[in-house]
Amino acid sequence: MTHTTQFDLPSSLSVELHDEIAVLCLSRPEKRNAIDDEMIHGIDRFFGALPAAIRAVVIHGKGVHFSAGLDLSSITDGDGSSGLFGSRAWHRVFDRIEHGDVPVVAVLHGAVVGGGLELAAAAHIRVAERGTFYALPEGSRGIFVGGGGSVRVPQLIGVSRMMDMMLTGRTYDAEEGITLGLSQYLAEPGEGLAKGLELAKRVVANAPLTNFAVIQALPRVARADPETGLLLESLMFSVAAADDEAKVRLRAFLDKRAQKVSAPVTAPRPPAPAEEFASKRGAAAARTMVAVL
Ligand code: 1HE
200 and 212 in a single domain? The answer is no
pLDDT of residue 37: 96
- Output the ligand 1 site: residues, CB below 6 A: 31-32, 34, 65, 68-73, 87, 90, 111, 113-115, 137-138, 141, 143, 145-147
> Using N-to-C axis directions, what is the helix angle for 80-98 and 37-48, rounded to 10°?
30
Of 251, 223, 255, 221, nearest in space to 237 by CA:
221
The pLDDT > 70 percentage for the chain reads: 89
pLDDT of residue 273: 59
Q: What is the 3-state secondary structure (H, E, C) of the chain?
A: CECCHHHCCCCCEEEEEECCEEEEEECCHHHCCCECHHHHHHHHHHHHCCCCCCCEEEEEECCCCCECCECHHHCCCCCHHHHHHHHHHHHHHHHHHHCCCCCEEEEECCEEECHHHHHHHHCCEEEEECCCEEECCHHHHCCCCCCCHHHHHHHHHCHHHHHHHHHHCCCEEHHHHHHHCCCCEEECCCCHHHHHHHHHHHHHCCCHHHHHHHHHHHHHHHHCCHHHHHHHHHHHHHHHHHCHHHHHHHHHHHCCCCCCCCCCCCCCCCCCHHHHHHHHHHHHHHHHHHHHC
235 CA distance to ligand 1 centroid (A)? 46
Residue 140 domain flag: yes
99 and 233 in a single domain? The answer is no
Please tell me the residue having the least CA distance from ligand 1 atom 11: 68
Residue 273 domain flag: no
Number of domain units in the chain: 2
133 and 224 in a single domain? The answer is no
Residue 183 domain flag: yes
CA angle 209, 213, 215 (to 5 degrees): 115
104 and 236 in a single domain? The answer is no
11 and 67 in a single domain? The answer is yes
184 and 112 in a single domain? The answer is yes
188 CA distance to ligand 1 centroid (A)? 24
Residue 289 domain flag: no
Positions marked catalytic: 118, 138
pLDDT of residue 270: 62
Parent domain of 59: 5-204
Longest dimension (CA), the chain: 91
pLDDT of residue 97: 98
Query: In this predicted model, what pLDDT tens digit does every residue of 41-68 receive, in sequence order?
Result: 999 999 999 999 999 999 999 999 999 9
Q: Which amino acid is at 67?
A: S
Low-confidence stretches of the chain (pLDDT beneath 70): 1-4, 267-293
25 and 137 in a single domain? The answer is yes
124 and 138 in a single domain? The answer is yes
199 and 217 in a single domain? The answer is no
pLDDT of residue 152: 98
120 and 198 in a single domain? The answer is yes
Q: How far apart are CA 174 and CA 191, in angstroms?
A: 14
Give the CATH number for residue 175.
3.90.226.10
151 and 243 in a single domain? The answer is no
Residue 261 domain flag: no
Q: How far apart are CA 213 and CA 220, in angstroms?
A: 10
Tell which one of 26, 31, 32 to mutate to probe ligand 1, the residue whose CB is within 8 A of the most ligand atoms. Answer: 32
Of 177, 204, 231, which residue is a domain's last?
A: 204
> Using N-to-C axis directions, what is the helix angle for 115-122 and 149-157, rounded to 10°?
70
Ligand 1 atom closest to Cα of 116? 51
56 and 122 in a single domain? The answer is yes
Rounded mean pLDDT of the chain? 92
